[in-house]
Structure 1
Amino acid sequence: MELTVTPAALDCFRQEWAFGDGEHIRVFVRYITEGDPPFAFGITRDTPSDAALTTVAGSLTFFMERKDVWFLQGNRLTIDCLGEDIVFQLL
């Protein structure tokens, strides 16, 4: 499992979302619909309590808690930016 944040996404978090140096951003799995797949990623400011996956980009720390990494299934998650939107690519 790997978590990567692109430079474009880092700029978006700083410029559009107003995240500052030293902040922690939790990536989590959320239920969205009964479609296929019924889950998606979400993000929020948070403090790690049981982080299983962590990466530092710039001076921001991105992490996933142990209860959410099941969704990666050993894959790599890349967080990118398209326009002003954060996008998640599971590879």
Structure 2
Amino acid sequence: MKIVISEKALHWFKEEVGLESGNKVRFFTKIYGTSPVQEGYSLAFTIDNDPGNVAVETVSDGITFFIEESDLWFFDGHDLYVEYNEAIDEVEYKYIKP
């Protein structure tokens, strides 16, 4: 599994969330919501500069984006692509099977 952060999504994280080099962002599963990979669950993020058991991570412009082992089940073998949606001015998640 891999995490891919688009340039526009990275810019959004910096501008809207105030992230800077050295910060760490954890993507995690939350109950309720919708996703194309797990019914009744969705994905969220939080700033977490003290990660636990990291299963996968990527670093973009000094910012680490990661998923802990306890949340891997959610992805069901899909890679996570984080992109920026201009229409709603938010990041959006795409799940792609390699």
Q: TM-score, normalised by structure 1?
A: 0.91
The root-mean-square deviation of aligned C-alpha atoms, in Å, is 1.8
1:66 equivalent in structure 2: 69
Counterparts of 1:22 and 1:87, CA distance in 2: 23
CA distance in structure 1 between the aligned counterparts of 2:46 and 2:32, rounded to whole angstroms: 16
Deviating above 4 A after TM superposition, structure 1's stretches of 4 or more consecutive aligned residues are: none
Map of 1:1-91 to 2, 5 A cutoff? 1-33=1-33, 37-46=39-48, 47-83=50-86, 84-91=89-96
**Given residue 94 of structure 2, which amino acid in structure 1 is its aligned partner?**
Q
Distance 2:67 2:16 in 1: 22
Percent identity over paired residues:
26
Q: Distance in 2 between matches of 1:77 and 1:33?
A: 17
Number of aligned residue pairs: 91
Q: Which has the higher helix share?
A: 2
- Gaps spanning 5+ residues in structure 2: where? none
Question: Cα distance, 1:33 vs. partner?
Answer: 4.6
TM-score, with structure 2 as normaliser = 0.85
Unpaired segments ≥5 residues, structure 1: none
Measure, in 2, the Cα distance between the counterparts of 1:85 and 1:33.
Answer: 16
**Secondary structure, counterpart of 2:20 in structure 1:** coil
Q: Partner of 1:49: helix, strand, or coil?
A: coil
